[in-house]
Structure 1
Amino acid sequence: MTEFKSLSEQELMEELIQSGEPLVVFLHTPLCGTCKAARRMLEVASHLLPAELVIAEANINMLPGLVSRYRISSVPALLVTSADRIAEPEIYYSMGSVERMLEFIRRVTS
């Protein structure tokens, strides 16, 4: 099973500011069944993404500042940013298939 880096709000905000590697953050809540299914899809997708891509996860209940700043409207969600961090992170809510998830991540991170 793929291990995702678990981040606190402070760590996540620092990661979003620093340039370096592209970043994918899986936002979820602990009791969300849809989040569990989306996480499994992301685990499958992660095997088809570059090894240097950082994939993190965070419980949205512990991120009030991030929710407010990026106007996160629901979970599960992916917050994806490119390596240069010039543009604001893009948010992906529609976890319909692994293929669409991969397309979105590759578009933003390339």
Structure 2
Amino acid sequence: MEVSSTEALKQSIDGHTLAAVYLYTPMCGTCQVAGKMMDVVEKLPQSFHFVKANLNYLPEYAEEHSIESVPCLLLLKDSVEQERIYAFQSVPFIYETITKNA
């Protein structure tokens, strides 16, 4: 699910116990590679609700959550951050990180 406003993002997160929020910008080459990894991980068996958000449309959210760079993956449980990933090393790395936070 892709959202384009802070309010839509917060509503999407609040509706799920486990949420994986993938933050990117369209002109970021690393984000394009990470996005493809996220598409694969999302299809694997896991219990997270996935949300994609273009950070260009969410400056308040980026400031509120101190997002340092993109790509960024926030793993949330009951809307509370459990882990943050900036280095998308591989699909197995992301999948293992997600499953250990479930």
**Which TM-score bucket, shorter chain as reference?**
0.7 to 0.9
Query: Following the alignment from structure 2 to structure 1, what is the Cα–Cα distance between the partners of residues 15 and 51?
Result: 16
Unaligned runs of 5+ in 2: none
Per-residue deviation, 1:19: 5.4
Per-residue deviation, 1:90: 2.6
Per-residue deviation, 1:89: 4.7
1:44-92: CA deviation from partner (whole Å, max 9, x where unpaired): 1122233x5311111111111111111000001111112x33x335321
Runs of 4+, deviation exceeding 3 Å: none
RMSD of the TM alignment (CA)? 1.7
Q: Greater share of strand residues, 1 or 2?
A: 2
Query: Following the alignment from structure 2 to structure 1, what is the Cα–Cα distance between the partners of residues 45 and 73?
Result: 15
TM-score by length of 1: 0.80
Determine which of 74, 90, 94 is the counterpart of 1:79: 74
Per-residue deviation, 1:21: 3.3
Unaligned runs of 5+ in 1: none
TM-score by length of 2: 0.86
1:1-110 mapped onto 2 (5 Å cutoff): 5-7=1-3, 8-16=5-13, 18=14, 20-50=16-46, 53-82=48-77, 84-85=78-79, 87-108=80-101, 110=102
